[in-house]
Amino acid sequence: MRIFERFRKRRAIRSYLTVLPPLLKKRFGKHKHYTEGQVLRTLNEAGLNQKYTDYALAMYVSHHEFESLMRENKLPCEYKEIRQEIADHFLKGDTSFNTHDVFDFAESPCDLSTYGTHLNEDIIDLDHIDSCGH
């Protein structure tokens, strides 16, 4: 994967972690899970990069709904694989994160050091971010 593409991917995922939570909360309230339609509509209306929507869906829809979307061939990647990648780079490797953890992440942008150095593009190993072929 080319370095600029990996950078765009990282930026998109970061926006799903920081921009989507307050928008989802404002539109639908704070929930454990959101529907595919709620996530995609909010992502679209916010003008966020839609190339990596499988990552946004892995953060906000239930595991069951994600697996259903995969079976319908709407999503190219495995749920656990995507969540591992998100966790490794943004959430201290904790794949058990839920939407409330993502909300906490989004609400503490001043102290991103709490989540390690993963947000510093100069430190991160960008070669690790292409497990799904994105």
The mean pLDDT of 99-108, rounded to a whole number, is 85
CA triple 109-98-114, angle to 5 deg: 30
For 2-33, give the DSSP string.
-HHHHHHHHHHHHHHHHTHHHHHHHHH-S-S-
Instruction: Report pLDDT for 75.
Output: 74
* Residue 124 identity: I
Give start and end residues of each alpha helix (H) in the chain.
3-18, 20-28, 36-45, 53-60, 63-71, 79-90, 99-107
Q: How confident is the model at residue 120 (pLDDT cuts 50, 70, 90)?
A: very low
Cβ proximity of 10 and 85 under 8 Å? no
Q: State pTM to two decimals.
A: 0.77
Helices 20-28, 99-107: axis angle to 10 degrees equals 120
The mean pLDDT of 92-98, rounded to a whole number, is 88
Instruction: Report pLDDT for 130.
Output: 42
Query: What are 27-64's pLDDT values in tens digits?
Result: 999 999 999 999 999 999 999 999 999 999 999 999 99
